Amino acid sequence: MAKVSFFIIFAIIMVLNSKSKEAFEQACKTIPGGVNSPVRAFGAVGNDPLFIESGHGCHITDIDGNKFIDYVCSWGPLILGHLEESVLESIKLTLEKGTSFGAPTQLEIQLAELVTDAVPSIEKVRMVNSGTEATMSAIRLARGYTGRDLVVKFDGCYHGHVDGLLVQAGSGATTLGSPTSPGVPQDYIRNTLTIPYNDIDVVKEVCDKKGKEVACIILEPIAGNMGVIPPKKGYLEGLRELADSHGIVLIFDEVMTGFRVAYGGAQELYNVTPDLTTLGKIIGGGLPVGAYGGKSQIMDFISPNGSVYQAGTLSGNPLAMASGIATLKKLQEEGVYQRLELSSERLAEGFRKAAVDAGVPTYHARVGSMLCTFFHDGEVVDYESAKGCNTQRYASYFHGMLERGVYFAPSQFEASFVSTAHGGEDIDATIQASSEVMKSLK
């Protein structure tokens, strides 16, 4: 334990004497909590955040000049790493023509065609500005299409900060210990049914009792906001069958998993097709973007074809479209996902071995280039088991890795991401650092 204390004290001293400390104090004067998204605050790991100056490849550099191997990757979208050449060039060329018009461009068509060609469930797609906006719009569409009000979601699945979905939510809500939020009317919550993830029997019970009132079932097909938790065998297939039998719209929130775990997302990987899909992250290549799409018969209920209203001045803005097009085209190149799989598998196995050798109880989960080390003595399959993790031990691990130049999410309940820019030397250095830190946690 003495070594653990040393790592934490060293990390705190390092930040206290840094430009990041000064920047954070300055930010707190004008920005609530000093950050524009809660999990960035480092509150769950007992420190102040680092302020980042730049990124290149799989590395980021803070304003003090400290360089880190980055496994946050802007929370997932940078599957090609920072400043990938073709993406950067595409943004530059588009920037020279204008940043926004509030009118259609051909770039929107190109990205829409790439998405519909790739994702099995999507025949038509509407571009928006964020994953939150995508899930909010998809739920409104499902309600308008079915004429029903109830929404079924799952404990620990995070679908953005939509009022009706901030009930037992994951991501920052779990990290900060507040799975619900003040300011959300009880009337909104009343229309949201929240049940355990990965338990098909509970879903069946709900559908048997309330099926005729349920507009949609929404979930992350691979949970990524309470750590990485894959679906149990047959779970997604069971949801598909229940949705069909009760006339419920099945929505896969693939904001994180879309183009990440496979080119066609989790639905391609597991061969289960939802009615609607929400996307974000990678289809913007690092720029703000979201999308929702699905069967034409449902999507045609959206204005101007139908009466379900949704709009956005910056939806489909040229810079985000250009960045997304360049990213998806790069992902189409031969061998990209095979290389990602090999790198991610080697990293995950290195983490597992480091923990076993050190005798530290952990549970490891990985799907494609999404992975997570849970500091938990037992299997993690849902929100309840995830909450049993030793978050203090994760904080010690986080600081030990940071000291050795490896940047993970400042929360036990987030995924780590591997990019095509993570080379063999970066993977080896990360495994070595993990081995050293795990031994210090004994």
Would you please indicate which residues are annotated as catalytic (active-site) residues? 158, 253, 281
Asked if 161 contacts 203 with a C-beta cutoff of 8 angstroms, the reply is no
Q: How far apart are CA 162 and CA 160, in angstroms?
A: 6
Q: What is the number of H-type helices and E-type strands within the chain?
A: 16, 14
Q: How far apart are CA 269 and CA 249, in angstroms?
A: 20
C-alpha angle 83/258/248, rounded to 5°? 155
**DSSP character string of 68-127:** EEESSGGGTT-TT-BT-HHHHHHHHHHHTT-S--SS--HHHHHHHHHHHHH-TT-SEEEE
> How many CB atoms sit inside 10 A of residue 38's CB?
18
Positive or negative torsion for Cα 31, 33, 38, 40: positive
Q: 281 in the Ramachandran plot: left (φ > 0), alpha (ψ -120 to 50) or beta?
A: left
> How many CB atoms sit inside 10 A of residue 418's CB?
30
3-state DSSP assignment of residue 63: coil
Q: Which two tokens stand for residue 175?
A: 């990290």
Asked if 12 contacts 6 with a C-beta cutoff of 8 angstroms, the reply is no
Report which DSSP code applies to 49: P
Residues 6+ apart with CB under 8 A from 356: none
Q: How far apart are CA 19 and CA 63, in angstroms?
A: 6
Report which DSSP code applies to 216: E
Produce one character per residue of 335-353: b if its CB has 16 or more CB atoms within 10 Å, e if not: eebeebbebbebbbebbbe
Q: Which two tokens stand for residue 433?
A: 């650092």
Asked if 243 contacts 356 with a C-beta cutoff of 8 angstroms, the reply is no
Asked if 312 contacts 302 with a C-beta cutoff of 8 angstroms, the reply is no
Asked if 422 contacts 72 with a C-beta cutoff of 8 angstroms, the reply is no
